[in-house]
Each structure stands twice: as C-alpha cells, then as structure tokens.
Structure 1
C-alpha cells in the first residue's frame, strides 16, 4: 500500500461522510422527491446509480483501493448521465436554501437523482485522481535505475567501451541509412548501372568521411560519454518534471487542505452562501487541474522552472477551474453533470494514455538500451557456437548421461546418508529410542563378566578354604566383597604360590589365581568403559547434532549458491532492506537539505514530488521489516513527513526522529 492509496481512501471516506451527514440532517441530498418515490422508472434509475457508486468505492475491493481506468469509464458509460435527469441540467442555483429555479421561474427542490449523479462523478474523479498520481509515481521511480546506468557509463572507461560495442550495430545502421538517403537524393538507382551507383556510394562515403574529420580528434569513448551525458540530462529533466507534477497534484488537487476542511461540507450544513456546493466545485477544479498537469508534462520542450507557470496559464481560462474561485461569478450549479462526465472520460481515455505513451517514448529514447542491444554479442557467440556445442553433446551423449546419473545418485546418497539418517537419529534420541542409543560396549557384557568373576572366586574359596569348610554366611560375605572388587581370598593363595612359582603352578592354585585376576582386570576395564558409555549417553543429542551439522551446512550452502545463480539480475543486485531503508532516508534528508523554502516556509512542488517518490520507496521497504504495530506508528511519522504545511524545519526534525527512533531496523 502506498500514500496514493491512503489519499484515495481518505477522499472516498470524506465523500461517504458527506452522504451520511446529509442523511442525519434530513437534507434533500438523501431524500427522494414525491415524483421519484412513485415513479418505478426513477426508482430503478436511482438504484442503478447507487450500485455504480458502490462499485467505485474503496470498500468494493479488498485487494486494492485503486480502480482501473477501464472500470471507471465503464461505470460512467453505464450511468448514462448525458441522457438522464435532463430537467436537473436546466436548473440554476438561487438563494441560500437547497432549491433551484427553472427556466419559467418555478422554484423546485434538487432531485435525489441529480445529487447521486454528482456523487458518482465525485467517486469517479477520486479514483481518476488516484490513477493519475499512481501512473506518474510508478513511472518516475524507475528512472533512477536508468540514471544509475548512465552514471556507470560515465564513471569508468570499461563500461563506456562496453556500451560502444553494444551499440555499434545501431550506429552502423544509421550511417548506412544516411549514405543510402544521400545516394537517393543524388538520383542514384541500380537501374542506371552498377558502376554509376557504386561511384555515387563511394563519393558519399568519402564526403561523409571528410565531414567527420573534426570528430576524429575526439576518441570514440568521448563521443559515447557525451551521448551518456545528454541522455542522463534528459532523464533528469523528465524526473524533475514528473516530480513537480506530483507536487502540484497533491498541493492543489483533491488532497489539499481546502477540500478536506470545508470543501466537503454537505448541502444544508454550512451557513455561508454557496459553500454547500463547494464539493462539486472542488471536483470540477480537480479534473481541470489533472488535465492541465498532464498537458504540461507532455510538453517536451517545457523546462522545469516553467512548469508551474504552464499549469497556471492552462487553468487560468478553464471554466472548471474558475468555479472553485470564491470571487467567481459562476458556481458549480451551472455545470451539467454530463459535461463533467465527458471531461473526465476525455482525461481517462485520451489524456492519461497519451501521457503514458509520450513518457515511454522519451524513456525508450534516453533510457538504457534494450536487452537485445545489451546482450546481442554473447547471444551471437552462443548462436555461432551452437553447432559445435551440439556436436559435442551428440558425440559424448553416453558419457554425459552417465555423468548426470552419477551426479544425481551422489546427491541422493548425500542427502540420505548425511541429512536424513542423522536427522532420524536425532529424533530417535529425543524420543529415547533404544536403537539410536550411542554405545561402545554391549548392554549385558559387564553384568555377565561380573557374575562370572563372582562364581570363579566363590568356587576357588570353596575348594581352597583356609580353615573349616565355608558356610552359607561366609560364602555370601565373599560374594559381597567380590562385587566391591575385593579378591582377598584369591590373592592370599596367589601370594603363597608365587613364592614357589613352579611348584605352585604344578601342584598349587597359581594358574587359577592368575586366571581369576585376568577376569578381574577384564571386569575393571568394562567398568571404565561403562563410565565412558554413560558420558556418551548423556551427550547423545549433542553428538547427533554434530553428525547432522555438516550435511545441513553443505545443503544450505548449495541452496544459497543455486539461488544466487538462477535468481534474476535484480534479485542478485538487490541490497539488504535495512541498508536500502537507510539509503532512502539519506536521499530524503538530501532533498530537504537542498530545498529552498517559500515565503510560507514550505518546500516547492518539485521538492515535494521528489520527497514523495522517496517516501513511497521507504514505506514499501519498511512494510516488510517493521512489526505490524511499529509499522502503524511509522506511518504516522511518514504522514507528518510529507505534510508540507508543517514547514521545512519541522519536516527535517521528523527525519531526525525517524533516524533515531527506528535505527534498530535501519542497520
């Protein structure tokens, strides 16, 4: 949503309040006359007008508040104002009451149908006003890209040389046309003989070469840079003229102060004579102003400094504009709704399309070259080498297909083994899935070895008692000591037998004691391994994410690279939105700093238009960054920033407030 949509919505709501306020006061604007109430044809006509009015309201569409020009023209044609309410068109206002006097001097009330026609015209004019503003705005903003293009051409010789190569076919074609017309002007024809025609061509080329000797002292790049300066100056002029047009339309059109304050006072609400028809005068004035602005913009030779004078001269003798003057002898009631509708249809059907056509022509002539011109050289190289490339593909078809299949299988295996499987393990760890537990030894290994050691020690103690046979209590005590790692019974026997190793090994229990100690060492190692296992299990999730991270990093990196490769040039060159907002805010500050205030402390229409273009971009950039609640407050700051009535000094303070209040989202 842009400030143009806000303007149209505000104006449309004021027109709705106009009708609602007259409904509350009982004025004739919303009251059917007796003839209209009892005439089925008039009742159907009134219902038809009401439906058309609703279709032109901003609430008719939830997607956009701006109605296309074609739909506005369709509504005006369906209204058929020129052939309806013919008696209303013959009435003239007289006195302070809401009555009209016809040609015979009879006083009558203004018909409801007549007022509905004016309300329909007001709605249509509001939408046309939005269309004109939107058209000029949307065509002015892209000019900055073309200006940057010429700045690049003028900034470096590399870009200037590239531009010279790109446009060389055009210069060659123009040169050939000049030679051809020169030969034709001398009466050269192939029918007169090839030698005579060739001689004329040779003479024309020689004369043209002699005429261009003075240009040879200037390098081709200098000629290209001179062309760039000329086209850049033309684009800057177009941009400034369009910005001035925006400022005039917003400063003098429907969105100005007079229309908002008392311009929409409904009939019967104001005590001053004639002000009940002020809203009709404002509508007619806005149509005349839009027409004058479009005519001035279409004037190619008009300079920026004379734009305001041109608009003033066109509106000076316009009867629609004179109606708005408080000292004028004529009033809005002398206007026929059919005439106003015809003027509005001309604006939408002819004036606005003519402006768009002339603008596009000027931009095509002075803007950056088309893509065909910029890329003809690589396209030609690709076309010439296409047969060679095709031959390579045909001769190595099987190798290429095999490489493609292997590459695809590699990608699939990588995704499955390094992304999907680690992700499944992480999910299993979170869900305590036993199959996904990290372990370096079997679950029952320690218990089995410990039980075996316990049985071995008990059997050794029972077979080799140091005294009487062991009872159950002593055996249970030995079992408890073994669980705690105490092998005293075995070690005592081992100490006795180790004194005579050979004898102990043959007739003693040295071998058994050694084997039991080996089993004890195995159990001790497994206990240590069990501790490590516990540590690993406590960090299972961490290890799972470590295993998943390489695959994710490679996948994300490949995705971003592919996105950068296959995205459009505009997407590749687009900077971060935060940086863009800061750059736009800098441009706004430059406009306000360089603006020269008028005697009332306001900026000129030209600076106002440039400010609106930058504010439009700032608002679009902020809509995707700022949170909803903060963006709503940001719009309040924006409205205050574009309000020229507050004065230049206050606008500069608003820029400073935006800079520090929203600095978090600018960097």
Structure 2
C-alpha cells in the first residue's frame, strides 16, 4: 500500500460520513416522512404510478449496489482498475435515470424517493471521482519515479569519458542511418526537380538514355548532396561525434528533468487541491458541508476535482511550459469552468460528471500514458537493442566458431559435466549428509558414533596383566627379613598397592640387581623387573589416553558441528550465488536494503533544505510532488525492513511528513526524528 491508497480511503470514508449526516438531517427535518409514506401507500394509486414507483425502486437498488461495489471500505481491493470503474459507471445506467435536461426524473409523484435517487447518483459519481482521482495519482506517481533512474543514466554518461565513448559507439548506427536517409531524400528531391523541368521539353536524349547513364546521373546527384551537406553543416567540421553525443545527452537530461518537474507539479496540485472537503482534524465532514444550505459545496468540490484532473492530463506533457506556467494554466481552466454564472450541464449534474469521468478514463488516461511513453522513449535511456547490439553482433559472428569448438570438444565437455556432477554428489554425502548423521547419532547417544582413541577393554586388560606380573614377581622374590614366602595378607596388600601404582617390590629388586647387572641378567630377575616397568609405562600411557577420551566424548557434539560447518557454508554460498543469478539479482542483504532506505531519506532532506518557502512557509506544488515520490519509495522499502509494530509507527511519521499544512520547519523536524528514532534500521 502507498499514501495514495490511504488518501483515497480517507476521502471515501468522508463521503460516507457526509451521506450519513445528510440522511440523519433529512430524517430530523421530516419526522412524519415514514407515516406519510405509509398513508400514501394505503391510498389508491393508479397502475401507472405503481409501475413508475417500481422502476424507481429498481434504479435505487441498482445505484446502491454500484455504490457498494465502488466503495473502498466494502471492496476487497483498495483501488479499482480502470476497466472495472468504467464498467460500474456504465452498469449504473445513469443516462437512463435522467430526462432530457439532465436532471433526475422524479416521475408523476415527486417526493423523497426522487431526492434519494439524486443523492445516490451524486454519491456514486463522487465515489467514482475518488477512484479516478486515485488512479490518476498512481499514474503520475508511477511515471515520475522511474525518471530519476533515466536521469542518473545520462548523468553517468556525461560524467565519464569511457561511458560517453561507449554511448557514441552504441548510437553510431542510428546516426549513420539518419545521415544516409537525409542524403537519400535530398538526392530524391533533386531528381524530382530535374524530371519536372525536362518533362515539358520532351528531350529525346533523356528519354532514350540508358540505365547506366541514369545511374551515373543519380550517383552524381548523391555526391553533390553529400558535398553540399558537408559544406553547409559547419558544426560537423568543428564538433566531433563524441561532442555531439555529449550535447545530445545534455538535451535529454534537460527534457527528462522538465518532464519530472511537470509530473511532480501535477502530482502536488492534485494532492493539495483535489477532493479537498471541509474536513475536521478527525477526518469527519464539518456540519457546514453537511447542512442543507451548503449542500452544493461538496458537489462543487467533486466537479472542481474532475476539471482539475482533465486539465492536468491535458497539459502535463507539454514540456515547452515551465511548472509555474503549467500550474497557472491548470488553475485558469478550473476558474473558467467554475466561474460561469450558469454552470454547464456536465458540471452541475451527476450524469454530466459521469460522462466526463468516462471520458477521462477511456480517452485522456490512455492518451496521457501514450504521450508519456513517447517522451520517455525519446529522452530516456536507449533501448536494449541500441545498448547491446555490439556484443550481440560479436556473439552472432563468433557463434560458428563457438559451435565448432563445442562440437570438437563434446567428449571432454561431457566428461567435465559428469565429473562436476559426481563431485557435487560426493560433496553432498561426505560433507553434509554424513556429518548430519553423526551429529544426530551424538544427540541420541549412539555408541557407534562415540569418539575413542583406544578400545574400552584395553586399559583394563593391561592393568590386570601388570597386577599379575607384580604379584608373581613378589611371590618369587620375597623381600622380607625371614626370606619366607608371602602370606595371603601380604599378597593382598601388594595387589592394592599395584592398583594404586606402587611397584615397590619390583623396584627394590631392580635396584639390588642394578648393582650387579650381569649377575642379575644371568639370574633373569633384572630383565624381568625391566619388562614389568615397561608394562607400567604402557599402563600409564593408556591412562592418559583414557583421560583424553573422556575429554573428547564430553565435546563430541561440538566436534560434530565443526565437521558440519564447512559443508553448510559452501551450500549457503552456492545457493546465494545461484539465487542472485536466476532471480535477476533481486536478493539483497540486510545492509544493502538499509542503504536503499537511506537514499530516499537523503533526497527528502535535500528537497526540504532546498525548498523556497511559499504560502505561509509551505512547499510549492512541484516540491511537494517530488517529496511525495521520495516518500512513496521510502515507505515501500521500509515495509520490507521494519517489523510490523515499528512499521505502523513509521506510517505516523510518514503521514506527518506528507502533510503540507504543517510547514517546512515541522517537516524537517520529522525527518530528524526519523533519523534518530529508526537509526537501528538505518545504520
């Protein structure tokens, strides 16, 4: 939605309140209306009156249905398209409900029903005028905003020598064609002059001249035309094609700026002067406008708005006028229309206004669109055929070579495609699917997915082996004072110490044999003690590895996500790149969208800063129109960035910003408030 939709809905609700106020006022002034109607119904009436009343009731029902269909509050769509609006106006059959004078035909028994029918006709025409008003506003808005991109294109061409040279190359076929056409027309005119002079003389030599002589004569005339054109065109000797392209671009920028100013001026005039009822601050119609004494006031507003739309659509594409002259012409036409002592039929009756609305929708709106498209085609950026004919021509000329290369290397290309597909599939399964399975298994405590540097039973077996080796060594080499065998209590004590890592019996024997290593080696105890210590070292290493195992198991989920991260990042990057290619680069990051929101806000501040205060410190019509265009762009982009609740608050700021009555100073403060209040989404 845009501010145009909000504005049209506000006007439509004002018309509903106005009609309700008039209906309540008529009931209060005629409290016995219902009783009179019942008495009239009970009285004897002729068959002709009954038929007329039936037709009247049928017309009233049809008008009510058309009003309901055209109302923005009851329809699913906020704005009706042109065809639907024309169909509703034609379907209401207002022409069949009026007599020759254009007034509503009350029938043989004029009364409240005829007045009600006339009020319904005015309400229908007013709502139709409101819808047409919204259509024209949207039309001007949609035509003004894209002009900025065309102006930016020409400024880019003028601001860079490289772009100017590229534009010169792009438009060289057009200039060559125009030059050739001029030479041909000049030579053709000279041939016609020669034929006309020799026709009356009936020269036999001319009649019997051969084809080669006539062709030589034509070639001589062409050379003469080229020489005369080269001598007469002094600028072609002074100015290069590069300079002429620059002048052409400057002229187009000038016309585009004038077209944008005219469209903005028309938009501002319509927004500030069209459908302006005497409304209160809450949006309701004042009692003066709803009173019976001033019942013609709102009808005059509708008639004035229709005239305003007609005049704007008629003169807005006249680029030879300045915006000030355009505004003066528009208001002069409105004053002339409303200044007649006897208003014309098409201004004072709903039937006449309906015909004028149909004329606007059926003729003037399509005519204005066609004229605007012609101006944009003449002064806007060149067409795609002009901009891309050179690479297209290169591609066309090299197409045979490219096709030959593809045919000669089709086996290699097929192999590349197969390798690419196999690599993509392997990457997907090895770096995305398998890591995901491992992460899921870790979450579910799957034993097969647990990380381990050693088997679970390895440490226990090595510990039991060490215990048996130490106990056997202690039994075979009792190291006590009596030299007797160890008792069961001593053996149990040795087992407990071995579990705690104490190898005292083995170390004592090792220290004793170390004094006589050869003798200890011959006996075998020295080698045995050394091997037991090697087993002890192995057990210590396995204990350390067990601690590392426990650490890895506690962080197993972290390692799973670390293994999954590269595949996810590659998939996201590839998907983003592909979406940017196949969607025409419509994908934008958050920072890019925020930057796009800052640009219209900057333009709004620039318009307000450069504005010349007029009419008690308010913007001019042209500046207000330019402000409305930038506000429309800002609102559309904010809708994609701001959250729902924040966006609703932002709409309040937008409403204060487009309100012309607040003045430039307050509008500037609104821009400052938007900067600091929504800085989170702007930075």
State TM-score, norm by structure 1.
0.89
> C-alpha displacement at 1:311, in angstroms?
0.2
Q: Once the two structures are superposed, what CA deviation does each residue of 1:7-53 show, in whole Å capped at 9, x if it has no partner?
A: 11111222233344456566499999768999554444433332222
> C-alpha displacement at 1:551, in angstroms?
2.9
Counterpart pick for 1:218 among 212, 231, 239: 239
Whole-angstrom distance in 2 between the partners of 1:210 and 1:551 = 72
1:12 aligns with 2:12: yes
Indicate conservation of the 8 Å contact 1:419/1:552, yes or no.
Answer: yes
Counterpart pick for 1:640 among 625, 646, 656: 656
- Pairs within 5 Å for 1:607-618: 607-618=623-634
Counterpart pick for 2:503 among 478, 487, 502: 487
Question: What is the aligned partner in structure 1 of residue 142 from structure 2?
Answer: 138
> Measured at CA, do residues 477 and 81 of structure 1 come closer, stay the same or move farther in structure 2, by a change above 3 Å?
same
1:178 aligns with 2:220: no
Whole-angstrom distance in 1 between the partners of 2:610 and 2:394 = 48
1:228 aligns with 2:249: yes
1:58 aligns with 2:87: no
- Pairs within 5 Å for 1:291-306: 291-306=310-325
> C-alpha displacement at 1:511, in angstroms?
3.0
Q: Once the two structures are superposed, what CA deviation does each residue of 1:574-623 show, in whole Å capped at 9, x if it has no partner?
A: 98222222221121111111111124221111111011011111111111
- Stretch deviating more after TM superposition (387-396 or 621-630): 621-630
Please state whether the residue corresponding to 2:324 is helix, strand or coil: coil
- Stretch deviating more after TM superposition (105-114 or 26-35): 26-35
> Measured at CA, do residues 645 and 493 of structure 1 come closer, stay the same or move farther in structure 2, by a change above 3 Å?
same
Indicate conservation of the 8 Å contact 1:29/1:115, yes or no.
Answer: no
Whole-angstrom distance in 2 between the partners of 1:258 and 1:458 = 112
- Pairs within 5 Å for 1:117-516: 117-187=121-191, 193-254=214-275, 256=276, 258=278, 265=285, 274-318=293-337, 321-322=338-339, 335-466=348-479, 467-516=483-532
Please state whether the residue corresponding to 1:186 is helix, strand or coil: helix
> Measured at CA, do residues 631 and 474 of structure 1 come closer, stay the same or move farther in structure 2, by a change above 3 Å?
same
- Stretch deviating more after TM superposition (403-412 or 342-351): 403-412
Please state whether the residue corresponding to 1:306 is helix, strand or coil: helix
> C-alpha displacement at 1:332, in angstroms?
10
Whole-angstrom distance in 1 between the partners of 2:438 and 2:589 = 40
Indicate conservation of the 8 Å contact 1:281/1:331, yes or no.
Answer: no
Question: What is the aligned partner in structure 2 of residue 46 from structure 1?
Answer: 60
> C-alpha displacement at 1:248, in angstroms?
0.4
Q: Once the two structures are superposed, what CA deviation does each residue of 1:297-348 show, in whole Å capped at 9, x if it has no partner?
A: 1334222220111102211222xx459xxxx776999833221111110010
Indicate conservation of the 8 Å contact 2:507/2:529, yes or no.
Answer: yes
Please state whether the residue corresponding to 1:517 is helix, strand or coil: helix
- Stretch deviating more after TM superposition (443-452 or 183-192): 183-192
Whole-angstrom distance in 2 between the partners of 1:153 and 1:569 = 23
> C-alpha displacement at 1:171, in angstroms?
0.7
Question: What is the aligned partner in structure 1 of residue 201 from structure 2?
Answer: none
> Measured at CA, do residues 618 and 108 of structure 1 come closer, stay the same or move farther in structure 2, by a change above 3 Å?
closer
Please state whether the residue corresponding to 1:568 is helix, strand or coil: coil
Indicate conservation of the 8 Å contact 1:66/1:127, yes or no.
Answer: yes
Indicate conservation of the 8 Å contact 1:437/1:540, yes or no.
Answer: yes
> Measured at CA, do residues 209 and 540 of structure 1 come closer, stay the same or move farther in structure 2, by a change above 3 Å?
same
> Measured at CA, do residues 123 and 175 of structure 1 come closer, stay the same or move farther in structure 2, by a change above 3 Å?
same
Whole-angstrom distance in 1 between the partners of 2:290 and 2:231 = 81
Please state whether the residue corresponding to 1:90 is helix, strand or coil: coil
Please state whether the residue corresponding to 1:598 is helix, strand or coil: coil
Indicate conservation of the 8 Å contact 1:137/1:613, yes or no.
Answer: yes
Question: What is the aligned partner in structure 1 of residue 549 from structure 2?
Answer: 533
> C-alpha displacement at 1:424, in angstroms?
2.9
> Measured at CA, do residues 472 and 278 of structure 1 come closer, stay the same or move farther in structure 2, by a change above 3 Å?
farther
Indicate conservation of the 8 Å contact 1:277/1:332, yes or no.
Answer: no
- Stretch deviating more after TM superposition (165-174 or 454-463): 454-463
Whole-angstrom distance in 2 between the partners of 1:176 and 1:572 = 47
Indicate conservation of the 8 Å contact 1:264/1:278, yes or no.
Answer: no
- Stretch deviating more after TM superposition (129-138 or 413-422): 413-422
Please state whether the residue corresponding to 1:305 is helix, strand or coil: helix
- Stretch deviating more after TM superposition (450-459 or 142-151): 450-459
> Measured at CA, do residues 277 and 316 of structure 1 come closer, stay the same or move farther in structure 2, by a change above 3 Å?
closer
> C-alpha displacement at 1:262, in angstroms?
12
Number of residue pairs matched? 649
> C-alpha displacement at 1:499, in angstroms?
3.3
Whole-angstrom distance in 2 between the partners of 1:103 and 1:83 = 13
Question: What is the aligned partner in structure 2 of residue 99 from structure 1?
Answer: none
Q: Once the two structures are superposed, what CA deviation does each residue of 1:266-296 show, in whole Å capped at 9, x if it has no partner?
A: 9x98685532343322222211111111112
Whole-angstrom distance in 2 between the partners of 1:36 and 1:477 = 126
1:601 aligns with 2:617: yes
> Measured at CA, do residues 423 and 216 of structure 1 come closer, stay the same or move farther in structure 2, by a change above 3 Å?
farther
Q: Which runs of 5+ in 1 are unaligned?
A: 93-101
Indicate conservation of the 8 Å contact 2:346/2:353, yes or no.
Answer: no
> C-alpha displacement at 1:533, in angstroms?
1.8
Whole-angstrom distance in 2 between the partners of 1:261 and 1:514 = 103
Question: What is the aligned partner in structure 2 of residue 96 from structure 1?
Answer: none
Indicate conservation of the 8 Å contact 2:125/2:354, yes or no.
Answer: yes
Indicate conservation of the 8 Å contact 2:618/2:662, yes or no.
Answer: yes
Whole-angstrom distance in 2 between the partners of 1:151 and 1:569 = 24
Please state whether the residue corresponding to 1:167 is helix, strand or coil: helix
Please state whether the residue corresponding to 2:308 is helix, strand or coil: helix
> Measured at CA, do residues 546 and 115 of structure 1 come closer, stay the same or move farther in structure 2, by a change above 3 Å?
same
> Measured at CA, do residues 447 and 331 of structure 1 come closer, stay the same or move farther in structure 2, by a change above 3 Å?
farther
Whole-angstrom distance in 2 between the partners of 1:90 and 1:257 = 24
Q: Which runs of 5+ in 2 are unaligned?
A: 42-48, 196-209
1:666 aligns with 2:679: no
> Measured at CA, do residues 24 and 477 of structure 1 come closer, stay the same or move farther in structure 2, by a change above 3 Å?
farther
Whole-angstrom distance in 2 between the partners of 1:214 and 1:573 = 50
Indicate conservation of the 8 Å contact 2:346/2:352, yes or no.
Answer: no
1:622 aligns with 2:649: no
- Stretch deviating more after TM superposition (632-641 or 17-26): 17-26
Whole-angstrom distance in 1 between the partners of 2:63 and 2:389 = 56
Whole-angstrom distance in 2 between the partners of 1:378 and 1:271 = 67
> C-alpha displacement at 1:246, in angstroms?
0.5
Whole-angstrom distance in 2 between the partners of 1:106 and 1:140 = 50
Question: What is the aligned partner in structure 2 of residue 554 from structure 1?
Answer: 570
Indicate conservation of the 8 Å contact 1:36/1:43, yes or no.
Answer: no
